[in-house]
């Protein structure tokens, strides 16, 4: 068996925006208080040289769009696919189109953007907050008793919460008299300084972006609303309930991207992908076990590595091939707690469904045809899982000594080739079972066998061992 590989080019409009002459070393015309930050932004290539040359001038709406889009792209590795549509009649600026599509900025009407219009300080604050939310960055909420600025009463109602939140988190400051001057024009350097201050919230100690995950051409962030996910990904292929008692939506996209999104209180609390391409900070599908600094990880093995960053837990699942590259990545809120009755049987069918899509996600990643779920083979797999639970032992052989081929023969299932995976000792849900199977050469080879066309799945909960017994029977007709 030789897995078939496909390569798919990712066309990124933002990449065009980023492939410009590096700004570092360019002329910087800015105030003395802002210059150190402007130099850092230039060195990081976060600002175009033309804007640095007039950093102390008032920012236009088009220039604000360019700044936030450039910053967003930098945080997510510069790989964002836009639709290339022109949403406004008064500008063809690509940054404007992308900022609009990302939901970071809107027009002044249904057809006009007013690219040369000036930006007020309160408008800038609201755009920055949208950017933070887009990247899934959680900020401390302001208290009602906290007075943000002396001129707080002059801040527009639609901007007040954003201004107070940024102030509460040390990302905005006022003048010497404690005033914010919300209606005053915002300069380019003021935008850059706030962006650079915000970057400290968007990076961990190793300098990687947190919470925003890019899978293929899709960007998903922890904390993102359920409605935002639906507008971005459409209707899911399946829905399940997680071991946390919260809903999950499973997406197998036509470009080979698989995403599992879990929700808590209407916002994203879990993100999993094993797609062809993904990025989370400096972690990609090309990252290998040997490249990681395990001093930063709470636990690690060639099966998986777990790292906690604030209130986010990142789990990397490794591929069993040479070098152990990252096969999949899972982000979750550290506050999630497994629900009662986890191993009581209430989640068995959901674990089966999730395994089905997880395994097909692995096949889609390699360009292999997706497996069909076979109801007759499901019964065979379920019976074997039930028997393993009965005797509390894991074995590829039944109590009577029969193997998967004989069990399938007994069910009159026609096949040319068959194989079986079992899992009996892994605590956790379908993600943990999948991770173990993909890290082991023999079980991985069954998952990626190109001659297999069908699969049967049987999962039973085992409260005595706090785990699920799982069986996957593969076969080709």
How far is 377 from 397, CA to CA, in rounded Å? Answer: 16
SS3 at position 289: helix
How far is 271 from 354, CA to CA, in rounded Å? Answer: 13
How far is 195 from 67, CA to CA, in rounded Å? Answer: 9
3-state SS, 341-358, equals CCCCCCCHHHHHHHHHHH
Kindly report the backbone phi and psi dihedral angles of residue 206, in degrees, each rounded to the nearest multiple of 5, phi listed first: -95, 0
C-alpha distances (whole Å) from 464 to each of 166, 274, 457, 472 are 49, 31, 22, 22
What residues contact 460, with CB distance under 8 A and at least 6 apart? 345, 348, 382, 385, 386, 388, 389, 468, 469
Residue 8's region, left for phi above 0, alpha for psi from -120 to 50, else beta, is: beta
pLDDT for res 436: 96
How far is 52 from 186, CA to CA, in rounded Å? Answer: 15
pLDDT for res 5: 30
pLDDT for res 77: 54
The packing angle between helices 35-43 and 188-202, to 10°, is 60
CB 38 within 8 A of CB 46: no
Cβ count within 10 A of residue 334: 11
Sheet of 267-273: strand order equals: 238-241, 247-252, 258-264, 267-273, 326-333, 312-318, 304-309, 299-300
What residues contact 50, with CB distance under 8 A and at least 6 apart? none
SS3 at position 474: strand
Cβ count within 10 A of residue 7: 7
C-alpha distances (whole Å) from 121 to each of 13, 80, 124, 150, 308 are 28, 28, 5, 15, 35
C-alpha distances (whole Å) from 212 to each of 40, 51, 278 are 23, 27, 11
pLDDT for res 417: 95
pLDDT for res 27: 86
How far is 163 from 155, CA to CA, in rounded Å? Answer: 8
- Residue 279, beta-bridge partner list: 214, 284
How far is 338 from 243, CA to CA, in rounded Å? Answer: 5
- Strand 218-221 to strand 212-215: parallel, antiparallel, or no bridges (unpaired)? antiparallel
- Report, as ranges of residue numbers, the positions in the chain whose pLDDT lies below 50: 1-25, 79, 203-210
- Please give the span between the terminal C-alpha atoms of the chain, in angstroms, as a whole number: 16
Burial 31-48 (b: 16+ CB within 10 A, else e): eeebeebbbebbeebbbb
Model's pTM, two decimal places? Answer: 0.61
């Amino acid at each position: 068996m030789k897995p078939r590989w496909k390569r798919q080019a990712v066309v990124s409009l933002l990449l065009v925006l980023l492939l410009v002459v590096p700004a570092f070393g360019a002329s910087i015309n800015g105030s003395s208080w802002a210059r150190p930050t402007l130099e850092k932004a230039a060195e990081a290539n976060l600002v175009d040289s033309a804007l640095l040359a007039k950093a102390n001038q008032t920012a236009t709406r088009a220039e604000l769009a360019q700044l936030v889009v450039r910053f967003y792209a930098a945080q997510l590795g510069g790989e964002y696919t836009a639709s290339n549509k022109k949403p406004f009649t008064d500008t063809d600026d690509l940054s404007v189109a992308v900022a609009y599509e990302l939901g970071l900025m809107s027009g002044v009407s249904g057809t006009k953007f007013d690219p040369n219009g000036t930006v007020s300080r309160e408008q800038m604050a609201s755009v920055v907050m949208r950017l933070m939310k887009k990247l899934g960055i959680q900020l401390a909420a302001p208290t009602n008793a906290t007075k943000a600025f002396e001129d707080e009463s002059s801040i527009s109602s639609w901007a007040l919460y954003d201004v107070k939140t940024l102030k509460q988190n040390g990302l905005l400051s006022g003048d010497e008299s404690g005033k914010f001057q919300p209606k005053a024009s915002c300069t380019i350097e003021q935008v850059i300084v706030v962006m650079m201050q915000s970057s400290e919230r968007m990076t961990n100690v190793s300098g990687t972006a947190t919470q925003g995950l890019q899978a293929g051409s899709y960007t998903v962030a922890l904390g993102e609303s359920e409605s935002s996910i639906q507008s971005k990904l459409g209707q899911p292929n399946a829905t399940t309930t997680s071991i946390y008692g919260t809903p999950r939506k499973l997406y197998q996209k036509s470009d080979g991207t698989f995403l599992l999104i879990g929700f808590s209180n209407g916002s994203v609390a879990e993100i999993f992908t094993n797609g062809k391409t993904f990025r989370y900070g400096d972690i990609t599908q090309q990252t290998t076990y040997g490249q990681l600094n395990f001093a930063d990880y709470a636990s690690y093995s060639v099966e998986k590595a777990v790292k906690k960053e604030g209130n986010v837990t990142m789990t990397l699942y490794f591929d069993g091939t040479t070098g152990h590259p990252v096969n999949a990545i899972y982000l979750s809120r550290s506050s999630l707690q497994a629900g009662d009755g986890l191993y009581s049987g209430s989640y068995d069918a959901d674990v089966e469904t999730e395994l089905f899509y997880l395994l097909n996600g692995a096949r889609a990643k390699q360009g292999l045809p997706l497996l069909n779920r076979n109801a007759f083979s499901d019964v065979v797999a379920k019976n074997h899982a039930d028997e393993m639970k009965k005797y509390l032992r894991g074995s590829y052989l039944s109590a009577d000594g029969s193997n998967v081929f004989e069990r399938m023969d007994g069910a009159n299932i026609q096949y040319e080739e068959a194989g079986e995976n079992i899992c009996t000792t892994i605590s956790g849900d379908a993600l943990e079972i999948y991770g173990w199977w993909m890290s082991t050469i023999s079980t991985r080879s069954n998952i990626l066998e190109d001659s297999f066309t069908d699969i049967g799945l049987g999962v039973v909960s085992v409260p005595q061992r706090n785990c699920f017994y799982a069986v996957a029977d593969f076969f080709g007709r």
